[in-house]
Amino acid sequence: MSETRSTHHLPSGWSRRKFLGTAVASAASLALPAQAQAAAAAPLSPFRGRYLTHVSVVRVNQIEVTPTRSIGEDEAPDNRPERIRSRREAFARGCPDGKMTWAISWLALHDDRKEYQEARKLLASYHDRYGDEITFIPGGYFAPMYDTRENNRQTIHQALGLVSKMVGGGYRPECLVAGFMDAENQRLLAADEGIHVCQGQIWSQHGIDNGDGDGGICYPYYPSREHYLKPAQSQTDFIDCVCLDGWTCDFLAARRDGFQGGFNSRLGVGPIEAVGNLGTTVGRREMLDTTAMHFDRGHALNGFGWVTSIWETSIGHDEDLAWWLQAVHDRWPDTQVMTEGAFGLAFRQHVPNNAALNYRFDARGTGAPGSEKELEIEWFMNREFRLALLHDWTTNNPPQVIDFTRYDLPAREPQALQREWSLMNVLNQKGTRPQDKPVKLGQLSGDDQRRIYARYPELKSRT
């Protein structure tokens, strides 16, 4: 439903972005299951509104894992200037007044071919014309998996300087787009570079592409110095960098490991998994249904909703981007479409630490492959733990715990170069370890039950 927010709550220099339109979400779309109604009475985040962020990536090689090493395909023809123009024009058709973030790779910053010289000028012009954010993407999403922390630090520092020079006028990006980024480099991003927002994790990704990272929180949080997926527990391990997810996924599909069962665990607002695999009609419906998980029920439970995506210019799907943005405009006209940096800084202004984090999500399957219509998943995410409950809402049987990850326990990131960067302890939704078998709430240890019921006493009745 339409709502207003005063601009005096926003960071200095940040203009308020609001979709124009008169469409209003129906009351039915905001209806909550009985158990979610109790949760909705809980204190909401001081951050309010509906937010959408979109990142487009301009690169040379498919995965530039280090400045001197690439794997995958050479995508230079698919990153030519006309493809970049097509992407920006599609974004403008869907959201004429919106701002987006562009992430440029190391090779694209250095390529001296005429096409890339023009591409860099185009990106700079988009900042001047639209207020778009231009920033760097290290490691083709997987920098910690392929290079040392120190080498990544140096690469980030040099690349940010090149971005500032490319855009000119003393420009400095407000965020880094990284896919995955270790905790120490997020700390240095804030301390040394003065950048306090990092798209630093890909929520629930495991068994797909070149890096695994399940175990974190899908909404903004401040990382611990121990592990990038662990929210800081105290001031001593606090990193003053808002860590953001990269892709909003269907919660039901995302519980799977990779392509488990023949389904794609990354199904959601991404065009490859949705439209590319399911076709235009079903795929677009899934993109909008996934958005609704956050803008309808999620918004009611948390006080704000956020949907985000990273689309490489090389993949096309520009018409799907325009359609999605227009559909969001029509259904949730109060949605603010802004850059990653602006979103992260607005959150940082309202939420200075993790003490009040208490995210809740309650989603029923959409009916798309891997998102069973009869299943309902509830997520509880706070500074101390995350908890996921799954049940068949058509039978009303007691829920099963499919994930319980404690953040109060010590954690340690990998020191060697490896693809596994997950944070798993008590029980993980992906089911990759022997102990990762769903259980009822009453089957958890007494200590874990006390921990859960102390924060969510309403769950006692559901054992």
* Structural contact between residues 377 and 390, judged by C-beta atoms closer than 8 angstroms: yes
Q: Where are the beta strands (DSSP E) in 175-285?
A: 176-177, 197-201, 242-245
Distance CA 368, CA 164 (A): 43
Nearest to 429 by CA among 353, 361, 367, 354: 361
pLDDT of res. 463: 79
Mean pLDDT of the chain: 91
pLDDT per residue as tens digits for the range 123-157: 999 999 999 999 999 999 999 999 999 999 999 99
Above 50 in pLDDT, residue 11?
no
Q: Where are the beta strands (DSSP E) in 170-322?
A: 176-177, 197-201, 242-245, 304-312
pLDDT per residue as tens digits for the range 384-406: 999 999 999 999 889 999 999 99
Domains and CATH numbers, the chain: 47-350 (3.20.20.510), 360-462 (3.30.1120.110)
Using CA of residue 416, residue 417, residue 419, residue 422, what is the dihedral sign? positive
The residue among 162 and 12 whose pLDDT is bigger is: 162
Above 80 in pLDDT, residue 70?
yes
**CB atoms inside a 10 Å sphere around CB 37:** 14
What average pLDDT does the segment 275-300 reach?
97
Tell me the whole-structure pTM to 2 decimals. 0.90
* Structural contact between residues 159 and 195, judged by C-beta atoms closer than 8 angstroms: no
Q: Please report which confidence band the pLDDT of residue 43 belongs to, taking 50, 70 and 90 as the band edges.
A: low
Q: Tell me what percent of the residues of the chain surpass a pLDDT of 70.
A: 91
Distance CA 352, CA 5 (A): 19
Q: Please report which confidence band the pLDDT of residue 36 belongs to, taking 50, 70 and 90 as the band edges.
A: very low
pLDDT of res. 15: 32
Q: Please report which confidence band the pLDDT of residue 42 belongs to, taking 50, 70 and 90 as the band edges.
A: low
Strands laid side by side in the 439-440 sheet? 358-364, 375-382, 385-392, 400-406, 439-440
